[in-house]
Amino acid sequence: MFSSFYDNAKIDKKWSLLTIAIVLLLGAPLLTILLKLFSGPGESWEHIKEYLLLDYLLNSLFLMFACSIFTLILGVIPAWLVSAYSFPFRKLLQWLLILPLAFPNYLTAYAYAGLFDYSGIYERIMVQIFNLDHVSHIDIMGIWGLAWVMSFSLYPYVYLSARSFFSHQSHGQMSAAKVLGAGRFKAFYSIVLPLARPAVVGGLLLVVMEVLGDYGSAYYYGVSTYTTAIFRSWFALEEPETAVYLSAQLCMFILFLIVMERSLRGGKKYQFNSEGSQELIKKTPKSHIQAIFMLVTIIPISLGFILPLIQIIYWASITFHEVWSTSFLSIVWSSFYLSMITAFICICISFFLIYAAKWSRSLIIQRLSTLPVLGYAVPGVVIAVGIMIPTLIFDKFLVNMTQYYLNWSMGFIINGTIIGLVFAYSVRFLAVSYHPIETSIQKTGMRFEQAAQMLGVQRWKRMLQINIPLNKVGLLSGALLVFVDTMKELPLTLLLKPYGIMTLSAKAFEYASDERIAETALPALFIIMTGLIPIFLLNRMMNV
């Protein structure tokens, strides 16, 4: 029986080849960047090392740790409360908790800066409503403020993965703990939480990658991070080599984090029995406890979503007549379908890679299949270079070939077309769909498939007919995350979008780069509203 655990070698080879092909295709941009590690940095490296690096590195590390701790608290606790207890408005709160995801995080940063600005909403309320003579100014624009803003806009990554684990996987463990006499809190703390680690860490990794790759918010808040060094060496010091070198190092760091997480997990593969998919029975605590729980879940929502939303609605209301035009609807539509296509492609690829790795005998294939997730850690502009270099080689080759053999002068197929844009998005956001799907596939384990395999069902069929339905929630949450991220994406959109297509984020950028922050609010509101649709749908499906 054990020898039949894997399919025969011929099938395995086909799958391996396909995996390698996909990894090469998606990995080409990353490899382009990683290869630069070997060519070394430019001459401004010494300058950067002497004057900037240490400071910037410390800032980045601080942000990474601070945001990790905050997002863990903000994500895991509410996830446990909404999964394990029942209290008023629980259903509503549990989907409101995802909403900060719909905000581009540079926008949360702007909104917070606006709220606590001199004569911002906060100070005006204090003066006008509470009649205070002197309001002490809250300076949000600093490293602590940045950590705060980032944590409140990124915690849903942790929340989503933790919640999907708690609500569908922890029933069995909780019952066992209860039989053995442990209280609910103890069971959570000593059994459920450790088991949830892979899921939570997957979400956390996204947070860390997002924090390290951010430039816009940090720049605005005057905090110099590692990414600042990348931009500085590239654009101010005119040395792309050094910038790419720095990005390659960032890639290696993320790779190190991923490998470390894997080895900490120690190759343990948790599989849960079918009872696991049963939903956790919710306990109804005493009413004052219910009120506390409600309050605890409301905090991340109000600070991560409602507060910045108030500022954005205020801005949108004063700039509406200036910014609104009917062309807005077509902009919404192009953002929407670009994000849909990207989401679809990303989950297909992630699903295939993870599934193929799971059934592969080869350790190399298993390792290779995680490589494409690195795209998320690299700042958008840098990944844009990684994308442009190989795709332009391909495009130019094609143009020259058709010119030479067919005497037909064609344009680029990838660059400046939707294909190129969607490809770029997929390279960048694969990681976002990868983690929820990976967690989900790990949870389902091998039992159903082994049974099907014994019955002679082919691997393709097993993937499509058994695994897709079993991992529906994982796939959907992957798709959702990619969707909202694509809606918000900026540098790749600007550089690679075809003429005549406008997206909401590009529209918002037009104003932001002109320091007309208030005018960005209307396109931002549309980004948020368009993001709400899939969030709402996903939440319903997760509850089924």
Partner 1 sequence: MNKYLIALVHIGCFLLTSCMPQSNKEKAQGQQQEVNVYTHRHYAPDQELFTQFEKEFGIKVNVVNASADELMLKMENEGAQSPADVLITVDAGRLQRAKEKALLQIINSEILTNNVPGHLRDVDGYWFGLTKRSRVIVYAKDRVTQDQLSTYEALTEDQWMGKILIRSSGNIYNQSLMASMIANLGEEVAAQWAAGILRNMARSPKGSDRDQMKAVAAGVGDLAIVNTYYVGKLLTSPDSLERAVGQQMGIFFPNQKGRGTHINVSGAGVAKYAPNKANAIKFIEFLSSEAAQEIFSSSNFEYPVNPKVNPSPLLQSWGIFKEDKLSLSTLGALNKSAVLLFDQVGWK
Closer residue to partner 1, CB minimum distance, 2 or 118: 118
Burial of 497 (0-12, 13-18, 19+ CB in 10 A): buried
* Min dist. Cβ of residue 326 to partner 1 (A): 15
Closer residue to partner 1, CB minimum distance, 393 or 533: 393
- Cα 510 to Cα 315: distance, rounded to the nearest angstrom: 16
* Min dist. Cβ of residue 220 to partner 1 (A): 7
**Integer CA distances (angstroms), 263 to 161, 198, 269, 272, 359, in order:** 20, 11, 12, 21, 20
- Cα 375 to Cα 428: distance, rounded to the nearest angstrom: 5
Closer residue to partner 1, CB minimum distance, 155 or 355: 355
Contact of 487 with 530, CB cutoff 8 Å: yes
Closer residue to partner 1, CB minimum distance, 163 or 232: 232
Contact of 445 with 392, CB cutoff 8 Å: no
Contact of 371 with 24, CB cutoff 8 Å: no
Contact of 308 with 436, CB cutoff 8 Å: no
Backbone angles phi, psi at 64, to 5 degrees: -60, -50
- Cα 436 to Cα 354: distance, rounded to the nearest angstrom: 11
Query: Taking the CA of residue 242 as centre, how many other CA atoms within 13 Å lie in the half-sphere pointing to its CB?
Result: 23
Closer residue to partner 1, CB minimum distance, 44 or 477: 44
Closer residue to partner 1, CB minimum distance, 371 or 487: 487
Q: What percentage of the chain's residues is helix, strand, coil (to nearest 5)?
A: 80, 0, 20
* Min dist. Cβ of residue 420 to partner 1 (A): 8
**Integer CA distances (angstroms), 429 to 71, 339, 381, in order:** 20, 11, 14
* Min dist. Cβ of residue 416 to partner 1 (A): 7
- Cα 431 to Cα 164: distance, rounded to the nearest angstrom: 18
* Min dist. Cβ of residue 208 to partner 1 (A): 24
DSSP of 256-296: HHHHHHHHHHTT------GGGGSPPPPB---HHHHHHHHHH
Interface ranges with partner 1 (CB under 8 A): 47, 51-52, 113, 117-119, 137, 141-142, 219-224, 228, 231-232, 234-238, 240, 315, 318-319, 322, 341, 344, 381, 384-385, 388-389, 392, 395-396, 399, 409-413, 415-419, 422, 464-465, 491, 494-495, 497, 499-500, 506, 509-511, 513-518
* Min dist. Cβ of residue 258 to partner 1 (A): 29
* Min dist. Cβ of residue 123 to partner 1 (A): 9
* Min dist. Cβ of residue 514 to partner 1 (A): 6
Which residue type occupies 404?
A: Y
Closer residue to partner 1, CB minimum distance, 196 or 378: 378
Closer residue to partner 1, CB minimum distance, 81 or 113: 113
Closer residue to partner 1, CB minimum distance, 224 or 486: 224
- Cα 61 to Cα 59: distance, rounded to the nearest angstrom: 5
* Min dist. Cβ of residue 469 to partner 1 (A): 11
* Min dist. Cβ of residue 495 to partner 1 (A): 6
Q: What is the Cα gyration radius of the chain?
A: 24
CA 59 distance to own-chain centroid: 22
Closer residue to partner 1, CB minimum distance, 221 or 483: 221
